Amino acid sequence: MRDFIDARDAGAAFAALLASEVTGAVNIATGEPHSVAEVALTLGRLTGRPELVRLGALPDRLDDPPYLVADTSRLRKEVGYSPAIGFERMLVDALEWWRREAAPA
């Protein structure tokens, strides 16, 4: 499980933190767990190519923690910031960006 955040939300959170009086460590993240498999399956569905996703094709990395999700309580409560872009919207927008930028000229 991982904590995926849209770059636009990360930038907005950082700006909100800088504009606040909050000091010390503040996690900039969503605080929401999503599996790497969920990312792959969602992208497979969004591209119309779910058959290309082969879960378990690669072994798990032994040094990779199984759960890496941030505690965003300080970001939400003290800074007053909550991410605005949802998980699927983030993937849709990223996919559209890659289609546009990777398209042959």
Per-residue model confidence as pLDDT tens for the chain (105 residues): 999 999 999 999 999 999 999 999 999 999 999 999 999 999 999 999 999 999 999 998 999 999 999 999 999 999 999 999 999 999 999 999 999 998 777
- Classify 68 as helix, strand or coil: strand
Q: Could you tell me where the DSSP H helices lie in the chain? A: 7-19, 36-47, 73-74, 87-102
Q: Indicate the pTM of the whole model.
A: 0.89
| pLDDT for position 15 | 98
CA 90, CA 96: separation in Å to the nearest integer?
10
